[in-house]
Amino acid sequence: MTDMQNQKLKGSFKLTRVGVKYVKKPVTVKRPNVEVTLIVDFDLYVDLPAELKGSHLSRNLEVLSRVIDESVREPVSGLEDLGSKICQELLVRHEYATCSEVHMSADYFLERGKSNGNTSLESYKLKASAESIRNGQTRKCIGVEVIGMTACPCAMEEVRIRQGIEDDNVALSITHNQRNVTSLSLEVPADRPLEADKLIQIVEKCLSSPTYEILKRADEAQVVIDAHSNPKFVEDVVRDVLHEVLEQYKDLPDDVKVSVKSESYESIHKHNAYAERDTTMGELRA
């Protein structure tokens, strides 16, 4: 029987990535004290050599299904570990490929509260990825996307000047503030697991203020006061996250990749403000 994908080609081109996008699957992740069901979006790719007509795309889905099934018996402790297994398995099943790649995204929830009586589950996004090279390394990353709040330090200063406020002790000055989305992604060394919860904590600490689902009036005022006591540009958010990463992950090796992005839905503009740094632990330490 013909296997069309296996047809040999002459004078053709290799392809960088061939695979499937937007595959949804429930996945259970197990940690020492908690078990979470995540609804995960997967994109899976391998490369394709010039002489082969097609990649066997159904193998991607079989690999995905099997690795997730196995995770029921032998639980994974994080999406990045699941991705790592999938990448290695993709290279086994696609014997012609030299590299594989998986991207994952899922809603995630943590309990938060401004004051005692009003905790609630706040929503975040997990973003994990992994890539394998045949006979080489598998590298994996775990990332988080956090919605929070920024208050603009520049408009605050301008208003103070306009209003002739010189004394720093008077009431906080007004400024524009807005919803902000900041993401932090770290490469995860093979022998050094990282906690997504801690990444979320780092980002929330670096915003003008975290945001909360349930805020009774006194709490609402406190969040507003917190944010105005702590005004931040998107540039500040990215840099403060980088500082915090350096501080909290002293043991991570120099080649570990770090990526931080911060985007503010500016309340005074129709467009967004954006800042980003793609780097490594080594470059940050330099």
Cα separation, 218 vs 223, whole angstroms: 9
Cα separation, 172 vs 224, whole angstroms: 10
Q: Check binding of 272 to its own copies (CB under 8 A).
A: yes
Q: Check binding of 133 to its own copies (CB under 8 A).
A: no
Least CB distance to its own copies at residue 80 (A)? 20
Contacts of 273 (CB under 8 A, 6+ apart): 233, 234, 263, 264, 266
Cα separation, 137 vs 142, whole angstroms: 17
Is the distance from CB of 115 to CB of 218 less than 8 angstroms?
yes
Q: Which of 93, 134, 239, 257 binds its own copies (CB under 8 A)?
A: 239
Candidates 77-85, 91-99, 158-166, 193-201: pick the segment binding its own copies (CB under 8 A). 158-166
Cβ proximity to its own copies: between 8 and 191 the closer is: 8
Cα separation, 155 vs 153, whole angstroms: 6
Q: Check binding of 187 to its own copies (CB under 8 A).
A: no
Cα separation, 30 vs 50, whole angstroms: 41
Site for its own copies in 37-56 (CB under 8 A): 37, 39, 43, 45, 48, 53-55
Q: Check binding of 158 to its own copies (CB under 8 A).
A: yes
Q: Which of 92, 110, 121, 190 binds its own copies (CB under 8 A)?
A: 121
Distances from the Cα of 236 to the Cα of 114, 223, 233, 275, angstroms: 23, 19, 5, 9
Q: Check binding of 75 to its own copies (CB under 8 A).
A: no
How open is the CA angle 70-66-36, to the nearest 5 degrees? 50
Q: Check binding of 15 to its own copies (CB under 8 A).
A: yes
Q: Check binding of 249 to its own copies (CB under 8 A).
A: no
Is the distance from CB of 247 to CB of 198 less than 8 angstroms?
no
x/- mask, its own copies, residues 88-117, rule CB under 8 A, reads -------------------x-x--------
Cβ proximity to its own copies: between 51 and 255 the closer is: 51
Cα separation, 136 vs 283, whole angstroms: 24
Cβ proximity to its own copies: between 111 and 251 the closer is: 111
Q: Which of 100, 132, 175, 182 binds its own copies (CB under 8 A)?
A: 175
